[in-house]
Structure 1
Amino acid sequence: MKIKMRSCGPSLIKYVLFAFNVLFALSGLGILVAGAIVLADVNEFNHFVEGRVLAPPIVLIVTGLIIFLIASLGCFGAIKESPTLLLTYAVLLAMIFIIELAVGIAACVFKSDLEGMLKNSLMESIKRSNHEDNVAWDNVQRKLMCCGVDTPADWKAISLNKTLPASCCQPEFVDTAAGNCFDSPALGKDKFFQEGCVGKLKERIDKNAVILIGVGIGIAFIQILGIVLACYLASAIRRQAN
């Protein structure tokens, strides 16, 4: 026969845990949205980035879905006053905590290797200069307003045709008929973007890494409260049952 909780303390914890899990479910949706936004932004330049850059936001999206399900289990366990469900919830919460910490740490570690990885990828792409590479370069140069790896001179030095693409031109100077800038020398500082793309890409990915680190680690530590509440409530229910 189920024993009702009469103690004010455990009863209060039950409702606190329920409220916590409602907020926790909403945080899961927040993690999912943050992961999706970062993935969409980084995926726009996926020709130049490795799978390691795409992995953290994908992990956060999956984690957000799992958190929503776990929070539902926590709410159900609190209302039903089931020690088994509550302890299962606490274990699952601890596992998600570890995953989120790992994602945050991986994002921190990856930042130190990011510039070198991007530079190698961009160099190899500009050397190949095939159709796929050129389309990707046009996309990144127009959207980030940059040219070449470090400087526009990279196109003259290492590309196959030794010429700058039209996407290096500032928009107001593009000659669509000629596919280049209006009456400009090869490296004309007045009409070509002068910043290299490696710095612009790194800056873009760094901003996304800050989002991942903040969301992943921030919510991970909040989950400790959920683990403590669930374990305390499960222990209190068992004590009353004995």
Structure 2
Amino acid sequence: MESCGMNIIKYILFIFNLVFAISGIGIIAAGACVLADVGEFNHFVEGRIMAPPIVLIVAGAIVFIIAFLGCYGAIKEHYHMLIAFAAALLIIFVIELAVGIAAAVFKNDFSMAMKDTLKESMKNYSEADRMAWDNIHKKLECCGVDGPNDWSPANGFTSGFPSSCCKQDMNMICQINNEALVYQEGCFNKLEMRVHKGATVLIGVGIGIAFVEIAGIILACCLAAIIKRETDHK
């Protein structure tokens, strides 16, 4: 006969896993939103900056699958499945923790690498670079790395800044460098703010799901211990 304690923990764990499955979808959505937001400027963003949202999407998919493993293990009172569920949660927790620590440690490196990439792209300025700069100028309403002066003849741009630096489609008037007509803020600051905003979202979601994972590990281990004790007494 099942003990009252086992029943309570079993159904708590079952409900927890339903919530956990929904949170897995939430993680995927958060990672996808950040990836879409920052990925729009992937010409200037290093692969390692794009890695955290991709890892989060993968983790969300795994969380969604594992949640059903936990539900099945709880309802069927399967000891080994519950242990496997707890171990899987622990692995995901460690991966998320490692990604979070890496993002925090290399935060400044990410910014400097991104600025170097912007400057290198401006130096090369191929057709692909031109399209990428036009896109970032228009989408972020900025001009150059640090400002419109980056496109000056001193830097090798005899024709001045691209027309995409203009607030309106009035290139001839815009080239006079009228501050009222040209985006004055550099694209590095705008892009850095967007990357940091995405990182904040990922960190917030990561911390939230980490607490849920710890609760899941504790509940699964408690239920597994009760099941083992009940089995041993039979």
Give your verdict on TM over 0.5.
yes
Indicate conservation of the 8 Å contact 1:104/1:217, yes or no: no
Residue 27 of structure 2 is aligned to residue 36 of structure 1: no
1:194 matched residue in structure 2: 184
Asked if 1:97 corresponds to 2:93, the answer is yes
Match of 1:203 in 2: 193
Matches within 5 A, 1:67-78: 67-78=63-74
Contact 1:150 1:197 (C-alpha < 8 Å) held by counterparts: yes
Deviation at 1:99, TM superposition (A): 1.1
How far apart are the structure 2 equivalents of 1:205 and 1:166? 25
Q: Aligned-pair distance for 1:149?
A: 0.7
Question: Could you tell me which of 45, 50, 56 is aligned with 1:49?
Answer: 45
How far apart are the structure 1 equivalents of 2:26 and 2:172? 44
- Tell me the C-alpha RMSD between the 2 structures: 1.3
Match status 1:223 vs 2:200 = no
Structure 1 residue 101: Cα displacement: 1.3
Task: Please tell me whether the aligned partners of residues 108 and 209 of structure 1 are also in contact (alpha carbons under 8 angstroms).
Answer: no
Which digits, 9 at most, give the CA deviation of each residue in 1:3-43, with x for residues without a partner? x42x1111100000000000001000100000111111111
1:169 aligns with 2:166: yes
Q: Which amino acid aligns with 1:121?
A: T
Give me the whole-angstrom Cα distance separating, in 2, the residues matched to 1:66 and 1:159: 50
Q: For residue 143 of structure 2, what is the aligned residue in structure 1?
A: 147
Q: In the superposition, relative to structure 1, how do residues 215 and 183 fare at CA in structure 2: closer, same or farther (>3 Å)?
A: closer
Task: Say whether residues 1:116 and 2:112 are aligned partners.
Answer: yes
1:162 Cα offset (Å)? 4.8
Q: Which runs of 5+ in 1 are unaligned?
A: none
- Identity among equivalent pairs (%): 55
Deviation at 1:106, TM superposition (A): 2.3
The 2-side partners of 1:116 and 1:82 are apart by 51
Shift of 1:182: 2.0
Please name the residue that 1:12 is paired with. Answer: 8
Deviation by residue 1:147-180 (Cα, 9 ceiling, x = unmatched)? 0111111011324545210000012xx23xxxx2
Residue 86 of structure 1 pairs with residue 76 of structure 2: no
Aligned residues: 231
Specify which of 145, 154, 158 is matched with residue 155 of structure 2: 158
Q: Which residue of 2 aligns with 1:23?
A: 19
TM-score normalised per structure 1: 0.92
Report the counterpart of residue 58 of structure 1 in structure 2: 54
User: Any unmatched runs of 5+ in structure 2?
Assistant: none
One-letter amino acid of the structure 1 residue matched with residue 84 of structure 2: T
Equivalent in 125, 129, 136 of residue 125 of structure 2: 129
Structure 2 length normalisation: TM-score? Answer: 0.95
1:241 match: 231
Contact preservation (8 Å) 2:160, 2:175: no
